[in-house]
Amino acid sequence: MRVLVLGCGNIGRFISKHLAEKGHEITAVDIRGGDCPGIIKGDLGSVELGGYDLAIGALPGQVAFKYARQVIEKGIDLIDVSYMPEDPLSLGEAAKRSGARYIPDAGVAPGLSNMLAGRLVSEMRPLSIGIYVGGVPKTPVGPLGYSITWSPHDLIEEYTRPARVVKNGAVEAVEPLSGVEPVNTPLGEMEAFYTDGLRTLLSTLAGKVPNMYEKTLRWPGHVEKIKLLKELGLMSEEPIEGVRPRQILAALLDKLRFDVPDVVFMRIVGEGQGERVTYEVLVEPDGGWSAMQRATGLVAASLTTVVKDLEPGVTPPELIGMSNKLMPRILTYLKQYGITIYVERITRSAL
């Protein structure tokens, strides 16, 4: 396939090189250039959009929606890992008109987390779904106990965007960084806090799962440090003497890239009447690529095996997770590249 990769940052670079190794013809476009196959330095206007079989979006969230719309309106299928603030479902009519197939939120979380949530719904009748996910250094490092592995702008979004959860069938917005709880993981004890990762699940699973939430995992102590930065106003978009504090913080966070191994851990828990199903996945670095690059990039790449089987319009990842035809392809692809998803089922019944 001729594939256009939007963005040549950490994730776009992995995706473009991985797909090139699989024999696809890659063109990548990035305003800063970069080390991607077929790189074009510039914005999307620098590229003639005709002739591409597929596009993969790996742009910062604040610009992703605009470029997703342009690609979709040209009738090009799009798999997008961007963490955009806009509702990707709003592009459904544009995709149907142009004949494009659009899979938004196609990374780890949202992304694989949504697929596994959809799998839970297809296999049981969950009363609650809890998503726990984190990409962290294997051991705490630096002033935040954390090393940057993706867009610092999107990381700040994760800490500031109101987190939508579902309680007793109703969508509620809670403060990000709230609901802190300790969580035992294979890596040791971590802390979890609410983030806005349910996204399309709020619509697609409405009326099916009465309680849902997502929490991000970090090493203990991280939340208090981030709250301090937030309280100091460093995550604000309001200019101070012509300078936006958030821009400065993003630049500072971008320097917190330590040369240490990272790991991505995810746990999805579904609770039903007398039944509990848990999915877990642990992704390690390999081949010179970080765990976050591999986890996000391989999920996006796995979706290339199913996108052409979809109908034009928006298909959120959870609908793929519900499909007994499509989801096995995703699991096979991930396992082929060292990502195995483990499941534990516990049932209770009266004697």
Question: Average pLDDT of 240-245?
Answer: 83
Per-residue pLDDT of 99-124, as tens digits, reads 999 999 999 999 999 999 999 999 99
Q: What are all long-range contacts of 242-250, with beta carbons under 8 Å and residues at least 24 apart?
A: 246/153, 246/156, 249/152, 249/156, 250/152, 250/153, 250/156
pLDDT number for residue 145: 92
Nearest-5° angle of CA 348, CA 350, CA 351? 125
Backbone region of residue 249 per phi and psi (left: phi > 0; alpha: psi in -120 to 50; beta: other values): alpha
85-to-10, 17, 104 alpha-carbon distances in Å: 20, 28, 12
Three-state DSSP at 23 gives: coil
Structure tokens at 204: 């697609």
Q: How far apart are CA 210 and CA 125, in angstroms?
A: 10
Contact between 238 and 218 under an 8 Å Cβ cutoff? The reply is no
Question: Average pLDDT of 215-236?
Answer: 93
pLDDT number for residue 150: 72
Dihedral (CA of 216, 171, 271, 116) sign: negative
46-55, 284-293, 308-317: range with lowest mean pLDDT: 46-55
Residue 85 banded pLDDT, cuts 50, 70, 90: confident
* Alpha helices (H) in 130-289, listed in sequence order: 152-160, 201-204, 222-231, 245-253
| pTM for the predicted model, two decimal places | 0.91
Structural domains in the chain plus CATH codes: 2-103 (3.40.50.720), 112-290+340-347 (3.30.360.10)
Question: Average pLDDT of 168-189?
Answer: 95
Average pLDDT, the chain: 94
191 CB neighbour count, 10 Å cutoff:
19
Q: How far apart are CA 10 and CA 14, in angstroms?
A: 7
